[in-house]
Amino acid sequence: MNARREVTGLILAGGQGRRMGGRDKGLEPFAGRPLVAHVHERLAGEVATVWINANRHLEVYRALADRVVVDRESGYQGPLMGIYSGLCAATTPWVLVVPCDSPALPRDLVARLVAGLGEHDIAVAHDGERLHPVVALIRTALAEDLGAALAAGERKIDRWYARHRWCRVDFSDCPEAFANLNTDDEKARLEARLTEE
């Protein structure tokens, strides 16, 4: 697979940011730039195009991505709805989804997920201790099935993955790369760590 031709990068930034007091997490300042800009940097040049799934501040996000994809249904229905919206919009055979609040993602994330995919339809990052369901390479052709699952009320990512041929991809050599930021304290700690590197 040639990721630069066959993979659309999709940064999930469509949530309500409840754990951060309702602030738009992707636009939170981090080391002088919005969080989402750091994530975009990890994908740019590695995939065909980098999109952001967002449901507010769309004009701001449009300046930070090749395209902004809004959830196909309103009401902040969670990451599966963001993934579904990206799969429906994509013209590439694969979509790589990542969260907007993981600014330290591995620089070789795309290459490693592609290499680990094998004959599967979904490859999910595993840090040696736990799975990161919103860091995944997903076959675009699964959009219809996901739409049906959502219509039936499914909102759990791992339960939907379990319906398909999926695999874990080992990132146990860099578990800290998947740190995601839900509080101001977590943000400050990671900012300090990355500044030291």
Please state whether beta strands 49-54 and 67-69 pair in parallel, antiparallel, or not at all (unpaired): parallel
Give 129-147 pLDDT, tens digit per residue.
999 999 999 999 999 999 9
- Helix, strand, coil shares, percent, the chain, to 5: 40, 25, 40
- Cα separation, 43 vs 49, in Å, equals 9
Sheet of 122-126: strand order equals 67-69, 49-54, 7-13, 94-99, 131-139, 122-126, 166-170
Give 55-114 pLDDT, tens digit per residue.
999 999 999 999 999 999 988 788 999 999 999 999 999 999 999 999 999 999 999 999
Q: What is the pLDDT, as a whole number, of residue 19?
A: 63
In this prediction the pTM is 0.93
CATH number assigned to the domain with residue range 3-196, chosen from the 4 options 3.30.1320.10, 3.40.50.1000, 1.20.200.10, 3.90.550.10:
3.90.550.10
Q: What is the pLDDT, as a whole number, of residue 197?
A: 61
Q: Helices marked H in the chain — which ranges?
A: 3-6, 35-43, 58-62, 79-89, 109-117, 143-151, 157-161, 184-196
How do the domains of the chain map onto residue ranges? 3-196
User: What one-letter code names the amino acid at 41?
Assistant: E
| Tokens at 88, concatenated | 């429906």
